[in-house]
């Protein structure tokens, strides 16, 4: 649980509550929680659908952040440890 543990709010302490960065941060935490849930409940298909919806929303927010503020996008993906978008996604 060292690298994949929940990401703490200390990373996002200087961000506003409803900003794009904080929304991506919260969605990433929900994704991590659902990933742990699927280790024991692998056939929970309704939760899998919810996970796909969350992933899609985070992807759209990341694409928007990439288009509007590239430096902030790069910092956020480095801090959260998530992959960057493919060229066809933005």
CATH of the domain at 49: 1.10.287.10
- Considering the domain boundaries, does residue 90 fall inside one? no
- Considering the domain boundaries, does residue 1 fall inside one? no
- Considering the domain boundaries, does residue 8 fall inside one? no
pLDDT tens-place values along the chain, 90 residues long: 444 455 565 555 566 889 999 999 999 999 999 999 999 999 999 999 999 999 999 999 999 999 999 999 999 999 999 999 988 777
CB 30 within 8 A of CB 54: yes
- Considering the domain boundaries, does residue 6 fall inside one? no
Q: Which domain holds residue 34?
A: 17-84
Rg of the chain (C-alpha set) = 14
3-state helix, strand, coil in the chain (%, to 5): 70, 0, 30
- Considering the domain boundaries, does residue 3 fall inside one? no
Number of domains within the chain = 1
């Amino acid at each position: 649980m060292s690298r994949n543990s929940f990401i703490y709010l200390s990373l996002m302490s200087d961000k506003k509550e409803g900003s794009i960065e904080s929304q991506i941060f919260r969605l990433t935490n929900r994704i991590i929680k659902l990933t742990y849930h699927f280790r024991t409940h692998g056939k929970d298909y309704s939760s899998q659908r919810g996970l796909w919806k969350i992933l899609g929303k985070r992807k759209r927010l990341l694409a928007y952040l990439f288009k509007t503020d590239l430096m902030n996008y790069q910092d956020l993906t480095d801090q959260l440890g998530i992959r960057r978008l493919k060229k066809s996604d933005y």
